[in-house]
Amino acid sequence: MTRDDTPLWLFADQLGPAVYGGEHAHREVLLVEATSALAKRRYHRQKLHLVLSALRHAERDLGGRATLLSADTYTDALRRFNRPVLVHEPTSHAAEQFVHRLRKKGLVADILPTPTFALPRKDFREWAGHRTRFRMEDFCCEQRRRFDILMDGSQPVGNRWNFDEDNRESPLKKQSSLGLPAPYKPREDDIDDQVRRDLDRMSLDTVGVDGPRLFAVTPAEARRALTRFVDHRLPTFGRYEDAIMGDDWAMSHSLRRCR
């Protein structure tokens, strides 16, 4: 049985109230900046800025609940923290295998089902069963039934499961952009400035440039981005969903990132 005072370790893509709130709102939170993870691949500099900015903003927003450790590896940080932690299932198979190894070492007390997906992995395995065909459409239809989303009894509202064929229009060739209001743009702060300086100091092998920041890194920013998307950009998202325009990289997309 998990102790009520066991801290919760959060990866950089788990920094939302759905993960650290609710039944876990009383727990201490551990955040880790692992240099080895940042250098694992040749990442885009903008991604690394986003990861570090998100971790550091989470530390600020969580106040006394959070401890942010910088270390060469996650294992080094957990050993320095010197207390077993809880962790939710990571989003990648490699990270999931890693936290299971940490559990065997006693650094992780328990691995919890992720709250950031509608279907836990256990339930997905049951749905997958012995299927020989895996299509997103089949999965989405089943979840529509499960959650009763846009359903009329056992059938979809309007007798259509999707409108994919209507979402493949090309913008007019004479247009250079959709001419929509710009997407929400976060306002950088001193945390972003420090992240940029630290990345310069690390001299990591990256591609691209990082600034100015284009994506949300806090729940508050994500809510503002969603509001602007729904109010100004959602009506034209569907029809041009699969299109790309050279002079309008965002088109109608929401650009939401933070969970």
In CATH, what number is assigned to the domain containing residue 80?
3.40.50.620
pLDDT-derived band at 116 (thresholds 50, 70, 90) equals confident
Same domain assignment for residues 69 and 156: no
Same domain assignment for residues 18 and 96: yes
pLDDT-derived band at 255 (thresholds 50, 70, 90) equals confident
Higher pLDDT, residue 121 or 72: 72
Q: What is the pLDDT of residue 164?
A: 80
Residue 143 falls within a domain, yes or no?
Answer: yes
Residue 62 falls within a domain, yes or no?
Answer: yes
Q: Which of 234, 163, 199 is nearest to 44 (CA)?
A: 199
Residue 53 falls within a domain, yes or no?
Answer: yes
pLDDT tops 70 at residue 2: no
**Mean pLDDT score, 71-97:** 95
Give burial (CB, 10 Å; 0-12/13-18/19+) of 120. middle
CA dist., res. 256 & res. 71, Å (int): 29
Average pLDDT over the chain reads 91
**What digits encode the pLDDT tens for the residues 163-197?**
887 777 888 788 888 888 888 999 999 999 999 99
Kindly state the tokens that stand for 195: 């992240």
Same domain assignment for residues 14 and 58: yes
Q: Which residues pair with 151 in a beta bridge?
A: 156
Q: Which residues pair with 244 in a beta bridge?
A: none
Residue 142 falls within a domain, yes or no?
Answer: yes
Which of 112, 143, 171 is the endpoint of a domain? 112
Residue 251 falls within a domain, yes or no?
Answer: no
Cβ(14)–Cβ(259) below 8 Å = yes
Percent pLDDT > 70 in the chain is: 98
What is the domain extent for residue 25? 8-112
pLDDT-derived band at 1 (thresholds 50, 70, 90) equals low
**What digits encode the pLDDT tens for the residues 232-241?**
888 888 888 7
Give burial (CB, 10 Å; 0-12/13-18/19+) of 192. buried
**What digits encode the pLDDT tens for the residues 28-63?**
999 999 999 999 999 999 999 999 999 999 999 999
Q: Is the pTM of this model over 0.85?
A: yes
pLDDT-derived band at 10 (thresholds 50, 70, 90) equals very high
Q: What is the pLDDT of residue 258?
A: 42
Kindly state the tokens that stand for 189: 């702060």
Domain count, the chain: 2
Same domain assignment for residues 92 and 131: no
Cβ(230)–Cβ(218) below 8 Å = no
- Three-class SS of residue 135? coil
Which of 132, 162, 192 is the endpoint of a domain? 162
Q: What is the pLDDT of residue 144?
A: 93
pLDDT-derived band at 71 (thresholds 50, 70, 90) equals very high
**Mean pLDDT score, 185-213:** 93
